A and B are shown apart, each in its own frame.
Chain A
Amino acid sequence: MMKPGTLILHVAARYLVPLQLILSVFLLLRGHDEPGGGFIAGLVASGAFALYLFTFGATVTRDLLRVDPRNLIGIGLCLGMVSIFPALLNGEPLLTAQWWNIPLPGDSYMKMSTPLIFDIGVYFTVFGSVMLMLIALTETEEH
């Protein structure tokens, strides 16, 4: 089904994919305060690779991805589970959000929290799930 993409698509994909990935990380990190979040960011990242998939095909996309989408799902679910437990250390019920301020060089600090870890887990799960389906479907097309 997939003809090799046109020249314009080829060039555009090369530049758009990294931009989209940066956007997805941006959406992920700002999610707690501004529109965004793990789910949306995961979809944006999937969209980026979907574009690449249409342009260059499944094998190339797999190479670019490096990680098997199934592992991405696993990582995501693990992160989601991991974020549950820190509350126990403070004697609070499971899943209670924990916040830490990690000092950075200079006078600044970074806001770190279990909801963020959880959101990253959501990100990877969504990203992995969509990629798993897309790549599997594309590969059956190619065969």
Chain B
Amino acid sequence: MQLAVLVIFLAAALTPWLYNRLHGQSANVLALVPAALTIWFAMHIPAVAGGEVIIHKMQWVPGLGISFDMMLDGLSLLFALLICGIGTFIVLYAGAYLKGHENLNRFLVILLAFMASMLGLVLADNLVTLFVFWELTSITSYMLIGFNHQSAEARKAALQGLIVTAGGGLVLLAGLVMLGSAGGSYSLQDIFNSSRVLTEHPLYVGMMVCLLIGAFTKSAQFPFHFWLPNAMAAPTPVSAYLHSATMVKAGIYLLARLQPELGGTELWITVLTSVGAFTMLTGAFLALRNTDLKKLLAYSTLMALGTLTLLLGIGTELAMIGFAAYLLAHSLYKGALFMLAGIIDHEAGSRDVRELGGLRKKLPVTAVCTLVAALSLAGIPPLFGFVAKELLLESLLDNMFSYVILGMVILASIFIVCVAALVAIRPFFGAFKAGKDEDKVHEAPSGMLAGPVVLVILTVLAGLLPGLAGDYFTLPATFSVAGHEVEGYLSLWHGINMALMISIVSVLLGLLLFKNWDSVYSVLRKLDPVIRRGPEAGYFKFMDGLVATAEWQTRVLQNGSMRNYLRTIILTLVLLTGYTLFSRYQLHWNFGVDFTFYELAAVVLLVAAAAGACLTSSRMGAVAYMGAFGFFVAMIFILFSAPDLGITQILVETLTVILLVLVLFRLPSFSNISSPMDRASDAFVALLTGALMTCLIMVTIDVQLFEPISGYMIENSVPLAHGRNIVNVILVDYRALDTLGEIFVLALAAMGVYAMIKFKPSTAPGSNHHAGTLILPSKRIPEKDIVHSWQEIHQRMLEEQNIVDAQPEEDEDATEQRSVNETRGSDSETKGEPKS
């Protein structure tokens, strides 16, 4: 299994080379890699369906308990098959969708790297490995969403996705560490097999909250949901892959994976059901006020992710069966729908359902596929979406979970029927409307159609043969989620029962809603002011606050004055060390030290040199005094029989004086510009430091925390290290790794000095006035795309989501100002006006 992940990474690495030979055809060749892996994983189905857990062991950092072990159980297998199976068609699709795009090779590299990371994530047995792959998916998805890096919107959306998911990732790391220490091991298998009861562990609540935040950010649960619709700025293959079947399901995967260990408590059930249900309803509701096909699908994905969380929260056996079925059903139809939306966009030149119509004659295959996939989305028999939805309703009815949640589910399914109808009926029926002329609209190439067609056929097959899909795919996954064998089966027909009635009613109401969608849409537009105060506004507030804090602390701490830096560093040191020193140790003023005449002489000269350096008014004089000071220190080293230190000190002092002399010639002539007050405060800081160092030395003489290791070093220097000079043995043998680090630091410092002296200020900071775009432009960005504040980004994203009408080009300032005032009312919050 390690090899499976590695092979995809390898394919990613080889892509540029392959692309140079095959150009547009390289995608078709690369698709063979995930295709082969799909078959390989499929061969494990019988064993895993029989309840086996396949584990491949591999060492990584044994000393820290971090392994590269991978495991394949029902849940992992279902995910692995989805990742590789859908991945195959996505690669094919991308090859056709981005045909002739100058960066197609780059796209394929990142796509494959993402695929490998995602596969590693669902196979990893070790928590640390899992986290590494988790972060890799965040990073690769950042690059995929921002693929059209010329567009400011895509960059912002990518950054927003990254900040939300990577921020959640940090919290997740804390949760995983707590899980590892509470469970006694970082291996998932060990944690499952141990007898410890994590739900009664004192860390349980903290660990659960951290893990949930990590999972919720990744899976776009409320209130972190806003990044997902914005991420639709990505090219369609990315949306079809990341935002339907893989990346956003990573959080769901983690929750499902931990369900047997952490689930079942009241807290878990409450949080998961309420967050899940709320996300579900928010997604379904917000979907209604969009006209962009991809946005419609993105919000319906939110609804599906919420539903999955809800099912995990309910936690009954029926809910677990429903969870796995819903997961599979959603991945199949949503992947297909995204790809189909991309085809419509690609071939008809628009994604807005208001601008599309009557395409069924021109795009017959697309039309049929969209219709079938949308029926599955709406949950209509005999498609697999229906099977999954029935299970959801039944698991809610089964234990009368809560009427509120049941009501929310019914409402959400009404909305989603309307969304499905919008996606499937609007673009294909009625009078012909498209973004292009009628004779320029053609059916998509086979590479783009292959994915949707296969996924739609699978949806139909799984719907007609639910027993088969259940036994081999979803029920094994259910076992992993439930933690034990579950009695159950999937079937299309459950008889005439409550769930069926609810389904029929919601479909009818949904169609009614669709009939009146135009008026509903205009009503929903009136809610815009409320929506723009949603969690996303909080995100922008947070980002603005972050920038403001960074500006403030840079102004205070990094103000470019050497004296200020020194003062800050020294005072921090004195305060922190001094506090520890005086709160923990008693000082003994022990002056009973013997010293010889030579030592006394050296000390007196040393103090005299230091005083001279402070008092002299000539730079050269100060350098000379400092040099003298260094030589007296060397003298003390030699008096205390440390010849190596003495020699080093003398040499370093000599070279320092040479360097200082060279540098000082570059400075303007010496002038005393600081006031006596300044000098007094500097002297105070200096004396404080001196006092602290003195106290430290007094304490070190008195206190011995542990046996000094010098004894061991002296004893073993000759027998182990074959050297009599202990200082050198320490440097090159005992502590060679430290020395290695130090020579690298030295080299870097030298390079830094060299760069500072040699490079002229034409490339200095300040010449880059695109800093506000946060990403260095590769080409010159048109002035209108440069964004100066987060408020402005917010404004643009809202425009993108149709919340605020895009402003006409001319007189932008005035109109934008007006729209801000209109939507925000006379509120005092209108502080930062968007600049343009």
Contacts and interface: CB of A to CB of B under 8 A. Distances in A.
Interface in B668-722: 721-722
Interface in A3-53: 31-40, 43-44, 46-47, 50
Given A115-B736, A122-B739, A137-B659, A1 B723 contact: no
Given A111-B722, A141-B662, A133 B750 contact: yes
B261 to A, nearest CB: 36
B729 interface: yes
B648 interface: yes
A127 B732 CA distance: 17
Contact of A34 (B721, B725, B747, B751): B725
A34 B727 CA distance: 10
Given A76-B743, A111-B722, A35 B643 contact: yes
A47 B651 contact: yes
Contact of A77 (B648, B655, B744): B744
A57 interface: no
A129 B746 CA distance: 7
Interface string A115-140: 11011011001101110111011101
Contact of A125 (B662, B722, B743): B743
Contact of B666 (A111, A113, A132, A140): A140
Nearest to B729: A32
Contacts of B723: 32-33, 115
B732 A37 contact: yes
Given A50-B655, A77-B743, A129-B747, A35 B725 contact: yes
A122 B740 CA distance: 8
A115 B721 contact: yes
Interface residues of B, number: 40
A129 B749 contact: yes
Contacts of B652: 43
A118 B731 CA distance: 10
A37 B743 contact: no
Nearest to B722: A99
B733 interface: yes
Contact of A137 (B663, B721, B725, B739): B663
A119 B728 contact: yes
Nearest to A43: B651
Nearest to A1: B665
Nearest to B744: A77
B759 to A, nearest CB: 11
A24 B749 CA distance: 23
Contacts of B724: 32-34
B743 A80 contact: yes
Contacts of B659: 133-134, 137
Contacts of A133: 659, 750, 753-754
Nearest to A111: B722
Nearest to A138: B662
Nearest to A53: B658
A136 B753 contact: yes
A119 B732 contact: yes
Contact of A136 (B655, B728, B736, B758): B758
A33 B725 contact: yes
Contacts of A69: 750
Given A44-B651, A134-B662, A31 B750 contact: no
A77 B721 CA distance: 22
Contacts of A126: 743, 746
Contacts of A130: 655, 750
Interface in B727-785: 727-729, 731-733, 736-737, 739-740, 743-744, 746-747, 749-751, 753-754, 757-758
Given A122-B743, A126-B743, A141-B662, A39 B648 contact: yes
Given A132-B750, A133-B754, A31 B743 contact: no
B644 interface: yes
Nearest to A94: B737
A129 B725 CA distance: 25
A130 to B, nearest CB: 6
A32 B746 contact: no
A37 B644 contact: yes
B647 interface: yes
A73 B745 CA distance: 11
B617 interface: no
A37 B728 contact: yes
B654 interface: yes
Contacts of A73: 747, 750-751
Contacts of A99: 722
A36 to B, nearest CB: 7
A69 B754 CA distance: 11
B743 A132 contact: no
A139 B178 CA distance: 57
Given A40-B644, A115-B721, A132 B754 contact: yes
A97 B719 CA distance: 12
Contacts of B746: 125-126, 129
A40 B654 CA distance: 12
Interface of B: 643-644, 647-648, 651-652, 654-655, 658-659, 662-663, 665-666, 721-725, 727-729, 731-733, 736-737, 739-740, 743-744, 746-747, 749-751, 753-754, 757-758
Interface of A: 1, 31-40, 43-44, 46-47, 50, 54, 69-70, 73, 76-77, 80-81, 84, 95, 97, 99, 111, 113, 115-116, 118-119, 121-122, 125-126, 128-130, 132-134, 136-138, 140-141
Top-4 shortest CB links A-B: A129-B750, A43-B651, A32-B723, A137-B662
11 contacts: A35-B647, A76-B743, A77-B747, A97-B722, A115-B732, A122-B732, A130-B655, A132-B750, A133-B753, A136-B754, A140-B666
Given A32-B728, A33-B724, A119-B731, 11 more contacts: A35-B725, A36-B644, A36-B647, A36-B725, A84-B740, A95-B736, A111-B722, A115-B721, A116-B732, A136-B757, A140-B757
